Structure 1
């Protein structure tokens, strides 16, 4: 069985990253592609399910996992820890399932060092004006927060060239098509096709 691919996806807030991933999952069979589930020390919110939205652990458990080098990447955000388990990712990939990991550029750098076979995708908005419009369209942030998000967006976007693929999300359907094209191209990569069709190739080349 061919190994699944880990896809690292990064984008500034408002570029449409989460919407694109969710739309992709609706068109891809669940046995073929899924989203990474992170570990966290924060308390579950109403409706969140352990193992589906997050793996909820306490601070002692999380620190023990750090000590065992169990995370591909981890970070502290507002007093709570978040991390991506190496074992969890590797178990899913071993079944031939692709995993999408929604993460910032710093986490992406950590993961690329530990999993060089991963593929990375950066998503850009078509303009700063459009990014600002999308952030305001959410109707949930103050002017101060929007200004901060725009500042963070520029910092995030400055790392776009570190990624394998670049998608500009101007038209959502076109961007989704681009994302699907990346998956199809990676599926046809020689190393994966050799694994997938090993028996056929052996027969074709037999004397």
Structure 2
């Protein structure tokens, strides 16, 4: 008949322990799952119970709980409840499971301030409300309900939140959940990851079976420092080319993606594809130039072939943007005109004010540059900002035929590329040690945008670090805070190289 009696209670009692007041030994736990129970009023006599398991019954009345003041955990999932918490709250009730019932709406839970875990999965709830005073709640689950928006969670200490299988379209209402660690929003109608970017404690995100379509959505979560697990299965963006490696690259801190562990090799492959180290880029470029040159009718560059005595002499000045390397290169070539001639690089960028074609660079279109790459015309190429630069084989060969050494200037990316060839130039690093003065110099030139200036100043430390971390990578380092002093020092170095 579904009425609970003492004999049935006796079958389910377990865990003998000291009562909450500490005056006697009593049974603390009662488990009566799957007993077809509908009337449990007899439980009002069992005042010492601390854990009550009543799942898989036919219960629709929990008023007897009012008489169990020491209750800590209550599981009444898989019953026939249409309301919840319709009883006097046990003072220390912490965990409650009302999943798989028929509850249509949430009630005010101001009296249940000790709650730490509340499960309301598989009900008919349309709105989250009544939790404002639940200042201990750290685990909330409302999967498989009828929610269309996230609300009512302001300033709660929630660490685990499950709102899967609802009808949510946007990730909103989470701004104040500063302790959130695990979030499940799978099987909703979400199209963007916007709204997750401020949750620095998030470790696990599941958005399986949503409508996220664009790879750019990774920008919203790429900086979450503790994010380790991400599930985006059954989203349209999975169909995009290179999704797997790009996802790994964008959120490099991940250890698991789409229920698969990410290997170290996959992380390396992702970085090498989307942001390869300069040496990797240089090596790839070198292989392209070698391969493309081999496809052309063979031509011997006899003037620059390495001899048994010494390689063809070259001088390369390198350093950050507008640090003085252009000016110093031209001055060196004028002072030592019997030894050096300037070898301009080709570039796809437009000329700055004061620059001249063929004198400073060969300014060419992207199409012309690509054609030169494809026909093996370059010995070294590199990309800086959004433009390409290349040192042409014919440029160096024409200088060598005059019996002169080539002097040119490159960014560090060009140095990496040139070091893959058989040429063995002298590399001199020109670096402004006073970054404040350098920044002012860039601003006064009026040629560069604020981001370009910030990037250039930041690269000063990068150049210095390379010099410190790889002794011998540069043959010498010259401070360019004062160009006249830098030129004097550079001249002395070159005289020493030339034995003058």
Distance 2:459 2:474 in 1: 18
- Structure 2 counterparts to residues 177-196 of structure 1, below 5 A: 177-188=488-499
Matched, 1:10 2:321: no
- Structure 2 counterparts to residues 113-192 of structure 1, below 5 A: 113-160=420-467, 161=471, 162-188=473-499
Q: CA deviation at 1:12?
A: 1.6
Q: Secondary structure at the match of 1:158?
A: helix
- Alignment-derived partner of residue 28 in structure 1: 336
Select the structure that is richer in helix: 1
Q: Would the alpha carbon gap of residues 46 and 103 (structure 1) be closer, same or farther in structure 2, given more than 3 Å must change?
A: closer
What is the aligned-residue RMSD (CA, Å)?
3.4
User: Is contact 2:438-2:481 (8 Å) kept?
Assistant: no
Q: Would the alpha carbon gap of residues 185 and 96 (structure 1) be closer, same or farther in structure 2, given more than 3 Å must change?
A: farther
Distance 2:451 2:366 in 1: 32
- Alignment-derived partner of residue 70 in structure 1: 377
User: Is contact 1:123-1:167 (8 Å) kept?
Assistant: yes
- Alignment-derived partner of residue 93 in structure 1: 400
Q: Secondary structure at the match of 1:114?
A: coil
Instruction: State the TM-score, normalizing by the size of structure 1.
Output: 0.71
Q: CA deviation at 1:55?
A: 3.9
- Alignment-derived partner of residue 198 in structure 1: none
Q: CA deviation at 1:185?
A: 1.9
Q: Would the alpha carbon gap of residues 159 and 90 (structure 1) be closer, same or farther in structure 2, given more than 3 Å must change?
A: farther
Q: Would the alpha carbon gap of residues 81 and 186 (structure 1) be closer, same or farther in structure 2, given more than 3 Å must change?
A: same
The partner residue of 1:39 within 330, 346, 352 is: 346
User: Is contact 1:12-1:157 (8 Å) kept?
Assistant: no
Structure 1 regions of 5+ residues with no counterpart?
190-207
Q: Secondary structure at the match of 1:18?
A: helix
Distance 1:54 1:125 in 2: 23
Q: Would the alpha carbon gap of residues 159 and 94 (structure 1) be closer, same or farther in structure 2, given more than 3 Å must change?
A: farther
User: Is contact 1:44-1:56 (8 Å) kept?
Assistant: yes
The partner residue of 2:413 within 106, 124, 132 is: 106
Q: Secondary structure at the match of 1:69?
A: coil
Q: Would the alpha carbon gap of residues 115 and 101 (structure 1) be closer, same or farther in structure 2, given more than 3 Å must change?
A: farther
Distance 1:175 1:92 in 2: 26
Q: Secondary structure at the match of 1:149?
A: helix
Deviations along 1:163-206, one digit per CA (max 9) or x if unpaired, are: 111111244333212211222222239xxxxxxxxxxxxxxxxx
Size of the alignment, in residue pairs? 188
Instruction: State the TM-score, normalizing by the size of structure 2.
Output: 0.33
- Which one scores higher on RCO, CA 8 angstroms, separation ≥ 6? 1
Q: CA deviation at 1:20?
A: 2.0
Q: CA deviation at 1:71?
A: 1.2
